[in-house]
Amino acid sequence: MIQPPIANAACGLPIAYVASALPLLIDDAAVRRHLSLDALLPAIEQALIDLSAGRVVQPLRTVLELPGPGSLLFVKPALAGNALATKLITQVPDNAARGLPTMIATVLLLDPQTGRPLAVIDATWLTELRTAAVSAVATRALRDQRPKRVAILGSGALARSHALALRAVVPLRDIRVWSPTRANAERCAADIDGSASPDAEHAVRDADIVVTVTNASAPVLLGRWLKPGALVHAVGAPRPGWRELDDEAMANYLIADNRVAAETEAGDVILSGAKVQCEIGEVLAGKVAVPPGVTVVFKALGQAVEDAVAAQLVYAAVTAA
């Protein structure tokens, strides 16, 4: 549901002023209607290019620890062209047992000229789709169009959105899903037309593309399992002390969505001592050529600029409808 601004003259202000000052409230259902991969993929690609080129104002995110194991609040502002936004994300692993999403996200979109709030957007699907869109854009740049075998470690919302986005950019032979909870892997595999693997190694062996989207704080992907020339999308482990990949996996050719963020916030990078070779925006812009045939690890922490441009797409579509 899209809730229009509500005028209220009780405070003594002109009704027109109050109405113009209140943002649109855009819920998840509206985001799902108005945010398409066709529009999102080129927007994300340009955002990553602009980020690496220094055309984006984006401080490192703020992270606040919340009560409960692994529970965090992330605050992520960014300014890119006409897109100014701040994203708030809570990550609460125990929410799964409560029947709630483990990750809840909200984006506040503002007018960069006036600072006026334009929209408050439920960013559940926005986050799921833009995260997968980043992996899809990187896949398109780093791999050819021959059919690929995909392994997904993790069985939540990001596993599902990655299956959708990857299918949009490369032919897939099959998708194998692993989760510590077998029933979750089976449900996810059924949803994405894949198959559940009994263990992580079985899922990863011979996979051309590996996606790690877990809540793990210790490695779930071992480098010795990787097929030479594989592409790994390392999406989870967003904290300095958390890991999804072991040292052997991290010793491969490492690309980051943002070098400073990866070296400051990503446990996979920090704890392994791995060297970031380049940013994906440099590859997309043609400034860096990745050596052919190498195994690539793409460490994506999820940059605020991605949320800003996605939110701008949603707002433009909603207001044009």
CA angle in degrees (0–180, nearest 5) for 120-128-142? 130
pLDDT at 20: 55
| Residue range 24-36: mean pLDDT, rounded | 97
pLDDT at 96: 81
Given a cut of 70, whether residue 54 has pLDDT beyond it is yes
Radius of gyration of the chain, Cα coordinates, nearest whole angstrom: 20
pLDDT in tens, 216-260: 999 999 999 999 999 999 999 888 999 999 999 999 999 999 999
Q: For residues 187 and 196, give the distance between their C-alpha atoms in angstroms, rounded to a whole number.
A: 9
pLDDT at 18: 45
pLDDT at 157: 92
Contact 296, 255 (CB under 8 A): yes
pLDDT at 182: 96
pLDDT at 7: 43
Of the chain, the percentage scoring pLDDT greater than 90 comes to 86
Label residue 2 by pLDDT band (50, 70, 90). low
- Report the chain's mean pLDDT, rounded to a whole number: 93
Domains of the chain listed by start with CATH number = 2-126+306-320 (3.30.1780.10), 142-303 (3.40.50.720)
3-state secondary structure the chain: CEECCCCCCCCCCCHHHHHHHCCEEECHHHHHHHCCHHHHHHHHHHHHHHHHCCCCECCCCEEEECCCCCCEEEEEEEEECCEEEEEEEEECHHHHHHCCCCEEEEEEEECCCCCCEEEEEECHHHHHHHHHHHHHHHHHHHCCCCCEEEEEECCCHHHHHHHHHHHHHCCEEEEEEECCCHHHHHHHHHHCCCEECCCHHHHHCCCCEEEECCCCCCCCECHHHCCCCCEEEECCCCCCCCCCECHHHHCCEEEECCHHHHHHHCHHHHHHCCCEEEEHHHHHCCCCCCCCCCCEEEECCCCHHHHHHHHHHHHHHHHHC
Q: For residues 302 and 297, give the distance between their C-alpha atoms in angstroms, rounded to a whole number.
A: 15
Given a cut of 80, whether residue 64 has pLDDT beyond it is yes
pTM for the model stands at 0.90
pLDDT at 22: 87
Label residue 321 by pLDDT band (50, 70, 90). confident
pLDDT in tens, 95-129: 888 988 888 999 999 999 999 999 999 999 999 99
pLDDT at 204: 98
Given a cut of 80, whether residue 21 has pLDDT beyond it is no
Long-range Cβ contact pairs of 2-9 (< 8 A, separation 24 or more): 2/26, 2/27, 2/30, 2/318, 3/27
* Residue, of 310 and 61, whose pLDDT is higher: 310
pLDDT at 133: 98
